[in-house]
Amino acid sequence: MSRWGRAAAHAVFVITFLAFWEFAAKKGWLDPVFFGFPSGIAEYLWDGFAVRKTLWLQLGYTVVGTLVSFFLGSFLAIVLALAFVTWPRLEHAMDPYLMVLNATPRIALAPLFLLWFGLGIGSKIAVGTSLSFFIVLSSTVAGIRGVNPDHLILSRSLGARPLQLFFKVTLPSAVPVIFSGLRLALIFSMLGVIGAELIAAEHGLGQTLSYLQSTFNMNGVMGLLVLLALLGMAVTRGMTRLERALLKWQ
Amino acid sequence: MRFGADLLAVDRFSLEVKAGEFVSIVGPSGCGKTTVLNLLTGLIPLEQGEISVRSRRPFAGNPDVAYMLARDSLLPWRSTLDNACYGMELRGVARAAREGKARALLARVGLKDFAGAWPKQLSHGMRQRAALARTFCLDSPILLMDEPFGALDAQTKLQLEDLLLELWNAERRTVVFITHDLAEAVALSDRVIVMSARPGRIIADMPIDLPRPRSVRALQKDPRFHELYADVWAKLEEGLGRALEEVH
């Protein structure tokens, strides 16, 4: 089947599904209190983004929180990973503590972070960062350790200095593994941010979702779930694009 | 060039290689052939004994020496051209100069049209051709080769051996070539050094008086080649027999 053919088949399926849902909810076969209406969901999103435009602010908080968590966590993790590779003793000494922290379900730290950093953007960044950090740390260490020893032997015999070895051999060879960590870290940053918002926050899609749920606005809840799914997809797509551009040689 | 090492891996080993000479070292696996090369490149320290490479002690990054490994070691994130340039790049050759030289060598090894290809797009033989180009781009007077064709199929191997001879014949640099393939050693070299099993010692140093320039493929039908091959094989077997007697 051609690309357009497949897209058309998907469109037909989704439209049929939504039409059935709408029909079933109108008829009372599906309880709208728990499932909402597709038309109501569309109306909620239209109102939130085009008429009253209140959702932009919430979306902005979540996206900024996610990006800051991602960059902060990844940066700290890469710095620590480099230190670990340079001084294996440091890794040895810190390993048990990192293991305990990594084993703790990070979302359980959210109440603590809320007390420390308040209801603003700080607490959700703390949760998101705590998730992305460990993922990038382990993938960076693994990537750097996985360098082909032949490449190092050859480069050293050719007179490569330590910095040249790092930038010309170790780092490029580690990029694919680091990247798979970064991709996961971005998704987990979003998870951490939305989790923290669900628990308590002034702004953000998670906070809005929690409010809509408590007021039984099912169209709103469903609408936000659709929005979050699209956001997650956009994030993953973006990373894949970047990866393809950077790793053409693979 | 001279080295005399006294190690666990290599024992009572004394060899002098003249400038422009093509010397092969053969011996059973684990006899310390690679150790000898790693000592010459300065990648591992010498415990006891004396090595001099053009009257200097070996050190990693010695510009007099170019090392070629058994596996091609092409960097997969670099194009063929950038891989051919890699050694010159580390040695500080300017971009324009190194690219010109690399393109010329890629043409000589038959990879003219593959300068922009990624290593994963090349066959094993082509990858080793690229590695040959990278090695010959360097102006080091001494080439150290550690079983460079060991992983290739017989047909490709013959082609690459002839290519190596062609490149070498043009400049006659000093080559120390490690292999466990006796036919390869006899076909390529001026001298074949036979080593015993560990601890590696020299058990024979045999001059190969086949005329130059040679063609490895033509040599396959040459009776003198087969005679020399049988001689080297006899020495190697003698060494293996002696090693077995020592064990029992």
**What pLDDT digit, counting tens, does each position of B234-244 carry?**
988 887 776 66
Every domain of chain A and the residues it spans: 1-30, 37-246
CATH numeric code, B1-64+145-248:
3.40.50.300
Which SS3 state, helix, strand or coil, does residue B232 take? Answer: helix
Q: What is the pLDDT of residue B83?
A: 96
Give the distance, in angstroms, between the CA of residue B95 and the centroid of all CA atoms in the same chain.
27
Q: What is the pLDDT of residue B9?
A: 53
CB-CB: which of B67, B76, B118 is closest to A157?
B67
Q: What is the pLDDT of residue B50?
A: 84
Q: Does residue B145 carry a pLDDT above 90? A: yes
> Stretch B42-68: mean pLDDT, rounded?
87
| Strand (E) or helix (H) holding B127 | helix B124-137
CB pairs under 8 A between A and B: 62
Classify B3 in phi/psi space as left (phi over 0), alpha (psi -120 to 50) or beta. Answer: beta
CA distance A69 to A122: 10
Closest CA to A111 of A190, A198, A186: A198
CA distance B191 to B207: 4
The answer to whether the Cβ–Cβ distance between A159 and B75 falls below 8 Å is: no
Percentage of chain B beyond pLDDT 70 is 92
Q: What is the pLDDT of residue B45?
A: 85
The model's confidence at residue B3, banded by pLDDT at 50, 70 and 90, is very low
Q: Does residue B56 carry a pLDDT above 70? A: yes
- Give B 64-123 residues with CB within 8 A of chain A: 65-67, 69, 71, 73, 75-78, 86-87, 90-91, 118-120
Q: Does residue B223 carry a pLDDT above 90? A: yes
Separation in Å, CA of A140 to nearest CA in chain B: 18
Mean pLDDT of chain B: 88
**What pLDDT digit, counting tens, does each position of A46-73 carry?**
999 999 999 999 999 999 999 999 999 9
A159 contacts on B by Cβ (under 8 Å): 60-63, 90-91
| B177 near A CB under 8 A | no
Selection from A33-37, A240-244, B81-85, B219-223 with the highest mean pLDDT: B81-85
Separation in Å, CA of B59 to nearest CA in chain A: 8
B86 contacts on A by Cβ (under 8 Å): 155, 158, 168
The answer to whether the Cβ–Cβ distance between B73 and A159 falls below 8 Å is: no
Every domain of chain B and the residues it spans: 1-64+145-248, 72-139
Between the alpha carbon of residue A96 and those of residues A118, A164, B202, the distances in Å are 30, 33, 52
Q: Which residues pair with B26 in a beta bridge?
A: B194
**What pLDDT digit, counting tens, does each position of A134-187 carry?**
999 999 999 999 999 999 999 999 989 989 999 999 999 999 999 999 999 999
Interface confidence, given as ipTM, is: 0.85
Which CATH entry fits the domain spanning A37-246: 3.20.20.450, 3.40.630.10, 3.30.110.30, 1.10.3720.10?
A: 1.10.3720.10
pTM of the predicted structure, to 2 decimals = 0.80
CB-CB: which of B43, B73, B138 is closest to A151?
B73
DSSP annotation of B77 reads T
Percentage of chain A beyond pLDDT 70 is 100
Q: What is the pLDDT of residue B240?
A: 72
Q: What is the DSSP string of A48-72?
A: IIIIS--HHHHHHHHHHHHHHHHHH
CA distance B42 to A158: 11
